[in-house]
Amino acid sequence: MGSLSYQERTLWGSLVAELVVYLPYFFLNLHRANSVNKVAGTIFAIIVLQIIVQSIIAAATRHRITDERDKIIQLRGYRAGYLTWVTLMVVGLAMLWFHSMAGDFPIHAGFVGLHFLNVFFGMLVISDIVKTVAQIVAYRRDS
């Protein structure tokens, strides 16, 4: 950790927090409960965990500078995240349409709404993780 800049440390912290919160949500079948409360709980958990992790990192880092290279890498990360989000948006909507056409789930307002919520939430989560990973990779490649 000694050779990492403040921005790199915050990125690693974000990645750990994201994986700790999102992996159980997506891989322990919590999302199958199809509940708005579960999504809201996950969002609340990531916010709380991020605040704790980032506070610890800020307290443990002496030089908390953000410079021009950090900003360029941040933009690269946002570009990667945006491209991922757009791609997943098209794929996600196509899958929703395909499943509804195939009759995998009945089309009534509440059910489709929850499916949309899960798909969009999943896309946002994946895009955010891609953004973070892209930035970490950019830092490692440039150093």
Partner 1 sequence: MPGLRNTIRELRADQNMTQQELADAIGVTRQTVIAIELDKYSPSLETAFKIAQVFRVPLEQVFQYEAGRKK
Give the interface with partner 1 as residue ranges (CB under 8 A): 3-8, 63, 65, 67-70, 139, 141-143
**Residue 4 or 83: which CB sits closer to partner 1?**
4
**Residue 6 or 78: which CB sits closer to partner 1?**
6
Q: How far is the CB of 11 from partner 1 (least distance, A)?
A: 12
Positive or negative, the Cα torsion across 135, 136, 137, 138?
Answer: positive
**Residue 62 or 108: which CB sits closer to partner 1?**
62
Check: CB of residue 132 under 8 Å from CB of residue 14. Answer: yes
Q: How far is the CB of 57 from partner 1 (least distance, A)?
A: 14
Q: Is 65 helix (H, G, I), strand (E, B) or coil?
A: coil
Alpha carbons 82 and 4: distance in angstroms, whole number: 26
Check: CB of residue 115 under 8 Å from CB of residue 105. Answer: yes
**Residue 27 or 142: which CB sits closer to partner 1?**
142
Q: How far is the CB of 142 from partner 1 (least distance, A)?
A: 5
Q: How far is the CB of 92 from partner 1 (least distance, A)?
A: 36
What are the backbone dihedrals phi and psi of residue 34, each rounded to the nearest 5 degrees, phi first?
A: 50, 50
